[in-house]
C-alpha cells in the first residue's frame, strides 16, 4: 500500500518534486524486519516503480521540464541504491562483529581451560612431589634390618595427607577459576602454618634448609579458606627453597613469622637467597610470566588471586640483609563475622 501511494504521488507530482526519494525512507524502515534478500528485492521494486512513475508523468503531462524529471528520477535511484548499499554494509559489519564475538567467547573458554589445566598442574605438583619423597622414605625405612615400622608408618600417614591435599587443591583451583566463593572457616593460622611446615619438612631437610618458625602466641583466629591459605604458603615456601639452591649449605635458611597487623594476621616468608633482581619485580604477580627455565608463571598470580578472594593481600619486599620477603595478610575471624552479620 505504501509502495502504491508513493508511486502514484510520484507519477502525478510536478517534475521538480523528487517524491521517489521517499522509497529510501521505506527501505530504511523495512530493514528492521526484512531479511537481506527481501530487502534487495524491495529496492529493485522501488527502482522499477521510480522509472515507471517517470514514464507515467511524461504521459500524463504532470508539468515541468522533462530534464528535471529525469534528474529527480536519477536522484531517487541513487538514493534507493545508496541506502540499500549502506544497509547491506551495516548488516555485513554486524554479522562480522557477531562472528568475532563468538570466536572471542570460544577463545576465552579455551584460555580458561588452559588456565585451569596449568593452575591445577602447578599446584598439584607440590603435594605429588611430597608424596614421592615420603614414599621413598617409607621404602627406605621398610628395607632396613630390622624394618623401622614406626617411621615407615609416619611416612605413609604423610603420603595419605598429601594425597588428600592434592584432591582438595584441585577442587579449590577449579572453584577459583569458575569464580565460586571460597569456603570460609575460622581457624588458627599458627596451626595451619605448623601443619604445612611439618608436611614439607622432609623436602626441606633433604635440601639442607633450616626452617625458623616465629609464630606469635595467642593470636586471634582468622577467617578464610584454610586449604587455599596453606596453598599460598606452600607456593612461597617452595619458591624460597628453589631460590636457595645456589646458596652454600650452612646459609640456607627460611624464616616464617606470624604476627598481628592492620586488619588481620600477617604471615611473612623470608629466605636467605640472592633476592629478586629489580627488572623482575614488576612482573612478579603477572600470570604466565616466569624467569624460571621450567616455570609456567601461575604460582604467585594464583596466590594473589586467592588472597584477594578471601579479603586479604599478598605483596613482596626486598630483605634488608638480602633475600626475598613475601607477606600475606589474612582477615580476622571476628571482622569477617561482623561483615557477614551486617550484610
Pairing type for strands 324-330 and 264-271 reads: antiparallel
pLDDT per residue rounded down to tens, the chain (343 residues): 555 566 566 555 554 555 656 777 777 777 777 888 888 888 888 888 777 776 766 665 555 555 656 776 777 778 878 888 888 888 888 777 777 666 655 554 444 445 445 555 656 666 777 788 778 888 888 888 888 888 888 888 878 877 877 776 676 666 655 655 667 889 999 999 998 888 777 778 878 889 899 999 889 999 998 888 988 898 888 888 888 887 887 888 999 999 998 889 999 999 988 888 777 777 777 765 555 544 444 568 878 888 888 889 999 887 777 788 999 999 998 765 555 443 3
User: Which fold, 182-342?
Assistant: Heat Shock Protein 90 (3.30.565)
Residue 165 grid coordinates: 591435599
Q: Which residues of 51-77 are buried (b: 16+ CB within 10 A; e: fewer)?
A: eebbebbeeeebeeeeeebeebbeebb
Amino acid 213: pLDDT? 92
CA distance 1 to 77: 20
Given this model, what pLDDT does residue 341 score? 40
Q: Measured between alpha carbons, how far is 140 from 70 in angstroms, rounded to an integer?
A: 103
pLDDT of residue 112: 45
**Cβ contact 242:229 at 8 Å:** no
The C-alpha atoms of residue 282 and residue 166 are separated, in whole angstroms, by 30
| CB contact burial 257-271 (16+ within 10 A = b; e otherwise) | bbeeeeebbbbbbbb
Rounded to a whole number of angstroms, the distance between the first and last alpha carbons of the chain is 61
φ, ψ of residue 223 in degrees (nearest 5): -125, 115
From the CB of residue 85, how many other CB atoms can be counted at a distance below 10 Å? 11
Sequence spans of domains, the chain:
2-103, 182-342
Amino acid at each position: 500500500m505504501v509502495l502504491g501511494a508513493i508511486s502514484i504521488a510520484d507519477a502525478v507530482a510536478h517534475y521538480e518534486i523528487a517524491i521517489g526519494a521517499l522509497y529510501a525512507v521505506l527501505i530504511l524502515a523495512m530493514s528492521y524486519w526484512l531479511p537481506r534478500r527481501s530487502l534487495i528485492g524491495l529496492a529493485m521494486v522501488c527502482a522499477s516503480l521510480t522509472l515507471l512513475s517517470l514514464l507515467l508523468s511524461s504521459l500524463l503531462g504532470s508539468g515541468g521540464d522533462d530534464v528535471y524529471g529525469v534528474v529527480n528520477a536519477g536522484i531517487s535511484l541513487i538514493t534507493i541504491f545508496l541506502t540499500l548499499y549502506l544497509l547491506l554494509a551495516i548488516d555485513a559489519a554486524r554479522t562480522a562483529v557477531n562472528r568475532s564475538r563468538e570466536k572471542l567467547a570460544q577463545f576465552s573458554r579455551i584460555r580458561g581451560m588452559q588456565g585451569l589445566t596449568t593452575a591445577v598442574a602447578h599446584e598439584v605438583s607440590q603435594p605429588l612431589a611430597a608424596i614421592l619423597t615420603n614414599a621413598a622414605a617409607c621404602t627406605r625405612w621398610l628395607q632396613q634390618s630390622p624394618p623401622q615400622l614406626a617411621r615407615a608408618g609416619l611416612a605413609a600417614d604423610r603420603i595419605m595427607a598429601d594425597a588428600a591435599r592434592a584432591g582438595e587443591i584441585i577442587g579449590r583451583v577449579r572453584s577459583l577459576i569458575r569464580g565460586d566463593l571460597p569456603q570460609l572457616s575460622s581457624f588458627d593460622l599458627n596451626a595451619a602454618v605448623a601443619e604445612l611446615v611439618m608436611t614439607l619438612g622432609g623436602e626441606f631437610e633433604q635440601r639442607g634448609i633450616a626452617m625458623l618458625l616465629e609464630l606469635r602466641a595467642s593470636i586471634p583466629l582468622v577467617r578464610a579458606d584454610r586449604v587455599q591459605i596453606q596453598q599460598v604458603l606452600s607456593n612461597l615456601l617452595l619458591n624460597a627453597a628453589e631460590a636457595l639452591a645456589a646458596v652454600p649449605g650452612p646459609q640456607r635458611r627460611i624464616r616464617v613469622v606470624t604476627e598481628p597487623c592492620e586488619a588481620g594476621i600477617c604471615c611473612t616468608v623470608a629466605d636467605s637467597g640472592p633476592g629478586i633482581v629489580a627488572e623482575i619485580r614488576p612482573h612478579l604477580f603477572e600470570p604466565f610470566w616466569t624467569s624460571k627455565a621450567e616455570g609456567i608463571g601461575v604460582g604467585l598470580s594464583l596466590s594473589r588471586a586467592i588472597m584477594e578472594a578471601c579479603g586479604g593481600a599478598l605483596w613482596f619486599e626486598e630483605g634488608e640483609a638480602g633475600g626475598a620477603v613475601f607477606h600475606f595478610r589474612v582477615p580476622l575471624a571476628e571482622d569477617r563475622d561482623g561483615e557477614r552479620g551486617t550484610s
